[in-house]
Amino acid sequence: MNLWRAIFPADGFIHWRRLIVINAGIVLGYAISKSIRDVPDVEYVHLLVNYHFGFTKRALIGAAVSLFTDRVSPWMVYVLGGAMLLMTIGLYLRLFDKTFGFSRATAPLLCFIIGSPFFFKNFVKTIGYFDIYGCTFAIVLLLLPARSFVYVVIAAAGSIVLLLIHHIHMLLYVPTIGAIVLIRYYLAGRRSRIDMLLTAAMAVVVAGIFLVIMGYGNTGVSSEEFATYLKERIGAGGNPDKALEFAFIWHRTLTDELRDTWAAMAMNLSRVWVYPLLIALHAPLLRYYRCSIGAISSPAHRRAVMATLAGITLGYVVIGLVVFDYGRWVSSWAVCMILMLHAIKRLPADTQVPPIALDDRLALGCAMLLTVIPRVGIIRPF
């Protein structure tokens, strides 16, 4: 016991502060290492694709890049990905300060969030992927004031942009965006009939655009012609063979996705048991989450929150049945749950939920274990 007290003194703030610094160093070091050592492939080809052959899925970012340059080098993946990562981290820290504030008392909460292998660490692993755009926009919505119907319009417009970036956002982050709008705008008491009708109409538009992308988003030219054009877009340092290895994506159908996902289901789920263990290490954060929901004043608000969390989770189940990047999906689900915590904290509460205690040794032990886990992965854990 004396040794335990020596390692974990009663005032454990120093340990939480050190863990926060270590986690920040891991994110930075891992990002630098990945940028130097990895050669992008699927992330790179997405920057080569634009609207040259007409409306095309996953082409908005590539089209934006083509406004500035005709040829794209692989390093552009890390320039754009790194810029998005830095911006998202900055926006999230602003959101954390706005919701919880930076203090000794909130240090454990911050440590669990930024130290989670599901969050920024995995965004480094997937740098260049388009998942982070949904997270960034959701954070922006949490920061913006929700005083008028303009807030709903911004949410709908942003959702459409996300679908044009990558249609998988329809289940990846659009449900979370809808939940944020529900909690911050409608549960705040602004529920005029016109507002609801207009919101329903915009939801139909968003869903319609998703269906259009699914039905007409594949390129209408042959794979050979498509590959020839993409070769012309490859810049200095690009390997045509490696870059075009994933060009087939723009000819794939939903049937193709389902067939490949279910064919590899057993292998890709072989490490599924890792996810519950990683989630269990967040137990102190989960306890705080549960208490925050329980403290909500209105029973109707609590039911609405639980329904939105269930809806978001159901969306990720559907994604998992169609596309097999399970490490990404579990990580993004966890990110959505973290963002929803910020939305939940905006609702009136009966009591103030105490933060994770500085001297909670079990919480500190869990945080230490999470700190040494660098990321989750893309398909299978680690």
Q: 241 is written with which tokens?
A: 């063979």
Selection from 243, 228, 216, 223 nearest residue 57 by Cα: 216
Q: Which of 292, 301, 218 is nearest to 253 (CA)?
A: 218
**DSSP letter assigned to residue 38:** -
pLDDT at residue 307 greater than cutoff 90:
yes
Q: What is the pLDDT of residues 143-193, one digit of tens each?
A: 999 989 999 999 999 999 999 999 999 999 999 999 999 999 999 776 788
Say what the pLDDT of residue 4 is. Answer: 46
Q: What angle do CA 276, 292, 313 make, to 5 degrees?
A: 40
Report pTM: 0.94
Termini Cα distance of the chain:
35
Which of 64-73, 190-199, 263-272 tops mean pLDDT?
64-73
- The answer to whether 76 and 47 have CB atoms below 8 angstroms apart is yes
Contact predicate 87/260, CB 8 Å: no
Taking only the tens place, the pLDDT of each residue in 346-381 is 999 999 999 999 989 999 999 999 999 999 999 988
Structural domain boundaries in the chain:
10-39+74-218+253-371
Selection from 144, 1, 39, 88 nearest residue 335 by Cα: 88
Treating both helix axes as pointing N-terminal to C-terminal, what angle do 174-181 and 326-344 enclose, rounded to 10 degrees? 10
The length of the chain is 382
